[in-house]
Every structure is written in structure tokens, then in C-alpha cells.
Structure 1
């Protein structure tokens, strides 16, 4: 599991094509940028597969359509449950990028 620490309003460094950026000082809203494996293989659509809580027991799991931008895919999400967001990606053909089984995580430090 990759955990990323960053300052608000600045994208993190890329981990396997994934960057995150808090949109507010409290970290409860985050922009996720993806240009990983699925983007590189020409996916026509990418979905953010995400949930909250423990990395091994996700709660409130959703698939959220990402917006294609010039250099990848992007989506802003709110963290309404707890202080962690776990996520990975899938395309419209149900191909997955889950960071070799580790997924990605965004944690809000208290």
C-alpha cells in the first residue's frame, strides 16, 4: 500500500502514474490524476474504484467515472467517511490497475 504525504493544493510525485492533490487545507476533498497502465494502453474510459476505511476492509465502495484531460484522467472526490481513501482504477472493458495488488491510499493526518 502506498501512502502519500503532500501539501494542500499541490500534486504529489507520481507513483506508477498516480498523483493526488488536496483541494482544501483540511484534506477532505482530493483530486486524483491517473496516467498509469490503463491510460498508456489506450483506455477509452477510466473509472476510479474507491472506498473508505481500512485498506483490507473498504467501506462505501464506488466506481466513479473519471474525466479525460490532455495528459491522462482526473477526478475530484470528497472524503465523507473517516480519514482515508483507498483506490485503484479500471477501464470500460473491466481491465484493472491495482498497483500490483497494493492499491493506492490517501490518508488525512490528524
Structure 2
């Protein structure tokens, strides 16, 4: 299997992210390319400058990079994330992190 060439090393599927639905983050960025033996997805909710409910989720290594699937919460409106490896090196998108709106799935 060849390594994936994700734009910026990150893909979120599906997008848009819908509350209560399964969401998968694929990562083949800086840490993966540097040969990290383990990668963690750090997620938090709220504004990009004030993360709440922060968690580190262990990702699984695949032939295409690292992957983690989780359920998007129904009580939050924004998810923010970055990555770290087991040596505590970080990939935070050059200080911008990654951030997505979580929508409720209703048409307005």
C-alpha cells in the first residue's frame, strides 16, 4: 500500500461534520512522515482560542497513514484538533490547528 497524499496531511470524512454521526480523521502529516511510532489526535470543542473537553485519542496506523473514528457530539458546535506523537512532538498546522463547525443536520 502506498502512503496517501492527503491535502495538508489531513482529511475529515464526512464533511460537513454532523452532530451525532460517526466522523473519521485521516492523518499523514508531519509526524507520520517523520516515522512516529504512535500518533494521538487531540480534540477539543468551542472556539479555536478556548478549547473545552480536551481529549487525546490514540490513532491506528494503516497503510495510508493514521486514522481515528469517533462520534461527533450533539451538544457542541465546533471541533478543534491537532496531533502529537509519543515523543511529545506536535503538528498543530503551523499554530492554526484544524477546526470545523459541527452542524445539527437540519435544513434552515
TM bucket normalised to smaller: 0.7 to 0.9
1:18-97 alignment to 2 at 5 Å? 18-22=10-14, 27-28=18-19, 29-80=22-73, 81-97=75-91
**Count of residues in correspondence between the two structures:** 97
Offset from partner CA, 1:13-58 (integer Å, 9 cap, x none): 94410000028x8723310000000000000000001101111100
* Contact 2:9-2:30 within 8 A present in 1 as well: yes
Normalising by structure 2, report the TM-score: 0.81
* Contact 2:80-2:98 within 8 A present in 1 as well: yes
**Displacement of 1:86 after TM fit?**
0.1
Separation of aligned partners in 1, 2:48 and 2:68:
20
1:4-23 alignment to 2 at 5 Å? 14-22=6-14
Look up the match of 2:98: 104
SS in 2 for 1:16: helix
Q: Which runs of no fewer than 5 residues in structure 2 stay unpaired?
A: none
Q: Which runs of no fewer than 5 residues in structure 1 stay unpaired?
A: 1-12
